[in-house]
Structure 1
Amino acid sequence: MHVAKPGLRALGIAESYSGREQSTLAGIVMRKDLRIDGAAFARVTVGGMDATDAVIGIVTDLARRDINLIMISGSVIAWYNIIDPAAVQDATGLPVIVTTYEESEGLAEDIRRHFPDDAGRLAAYQRLGDRTPIPLHTGYTLFIRPYGISHGDAAKVCNDFTHEGRVPEPLRVARLIARGLVRSSLCEVSP
């Protein structure tokens, strides 16, 4: 993958958690020139462990060969439903960049407290490893976990896709669309 390629396409995936039994994921295909040219949706179980399959399902549903990489807003969504970015990369063959926006002490203790008998969930969280802070040209810091792409290339891609603030545009738009879907009557339509 050539990160400097002007036609680079990223699939940004973000959720809108509504406190229900399911949470909504939106996947938005965005070109490097910030034009949107695709969308897909999925649902995940709040407190479940189906987020990885849902992300892979979004890629499968799009059936596109021109997507160059996947950006995911957070690895832990929908009340500790953990996305396995390495599994997403293996299943899709695409590099994955997971982003978060603030420093934190981590979630291991929260997972132990809420899921005391779920060693698999804790292990899945621990496999995520550490996040790396990257400075953005906007003056903000973004925290990333890259899979199948170097830290340097991931940092360049994140900077190229960040217009303002700290959220790369594919993720910002995906989050807005997921929120809109949750708020609309379309959210009640069966998947």
Structure 2
Amino acid sequence: MPRHPFSNVIGFDDAPFPHSHRGNVTIVGTIYAGLRFDGVLMGHIRRDGANAAKNIARLVAESKFANHARLIMLQGIALGGFNVVDIHYLYRWLQMPVLVVARRRPNMPAIKEALLTKVPGGLRKWKLIKKTGPMEPILNVFVQRAGLTTDQAEQVIEKFAIHGHIPEPLRTAHLIAGGITSGESRGRA
């Protein structure tokens, strides 16, 4: 059986934060070599800011895992509230594909309204979401992608979604992020 081209993956999710929180939000990246959990990256992004792609790229590029990573996964297109990740920028900077995974199809009209009426820089963020394209249904989740085909995205989901529909790198990042914030993990990834 040929080796999977995306065997080394880093999955990112943000830590939970209170609705009233302003400032930095912790993000956690989990590193997987195949189905083996190999490490953790941790950093910060600004709540509702515009630095998620740059901070993720820097975290990955400056880590000991950079030479082995082949794919970045994100739990949604926005982290830390509405800090929208420019996945095409991330793809170009790191020279590796990016796969966004969501459990449910987002309510795009509600997102647009929130961005345009309540979020600083909301128009730019909305344009970024539109540029990324619509979410595609694949194997019980919804995805957006940069640098990989729909078939490759399906292979990645199929390989890494072991305990439910969410791929292990994202499920683990979610659990760790929740644990470091509240002392224990909770909820579904």
TM range (shorter): 0.7 to 0.9
1:1-191 alignment, distance < 5 Å = 4-5=3-4, 8-19=7-18, 20=21, 21-32=23-34, 34-63=35-64, 64-106=66-108, 107-115=111-119, 118-135=122-139, 141-184=140-183
| 1:65-91 Cα distance to aligned partner (Å, 9 max, x none) | 111111111111212110011110000
The worse-fitting range, judged by mean Cα deviation, of 148-157 and 16-25 is 16-25
Separation in structure 1 between the aligned mates of residue 42 and residue 79 of structure 2, nearest angstrom: 15
Letter in 2 for 1:59: V
CA distance in 2, matches of 1:118, 1:172: 28
* Identity within the alignment, %: 23
Give the Cα separation in 2 of the matches to 1:7 and 1:122. 29
Moved over 2 A (4+): 2-7, 115-119
- Partner SS state of residue 65, structure 1: coil
In 2, the alpha carbon distance for the partners of 1:142 and 1:151 equals: 13
Distance of aligned partners of 1:113 and 1:76 in 2 relative to their CA distance in 1, 3 Å threshold: same
Secondary structure of 1:41's counterpart equals: strand
Q: What SS class does the counterpart of residue 48 from structure 1 fall into?
A: coil
Deviation at 1:116, TM superposition (A): 7.0
Question: C-alpha deviations, 1:91-132, integer Å up to 9, x for none?
Answer: 000111011110233111221121376432222222221010
Do the aligned residues in 2 keep the contact of 1:133 with 1:143 (CA within 8 Å)?
yes
RMSD: 2.1
Tell me the TM-score normalized by structure 2. Answer: 0.86
Partners in 1 of 2:148 and 2:132 — Cα distance? 15
Q: Structure 2 counterpart of 1:96, which letter?
A: V
Deviation for aligned residue 1:4:
4.3
Higher mean alpha-carbon deviation, 15-24 vs 4-13, is at 4-13
| TM-score scaled by length of structure 1 | 0.85
Q: Number of matched residues?
A: 177
- Equivalent residue, structure 2, for 1:187: none
1:88 is paired with a residue of what secondary structure? helix
Q: Which runs of 5+ in 1 are unaligned?
A: 136-140, 185-191
How far apart are residue 6 of structure 1 and its match?
Answer: 8.5
CA contact (8 A) 2:6 2:70 kept: no
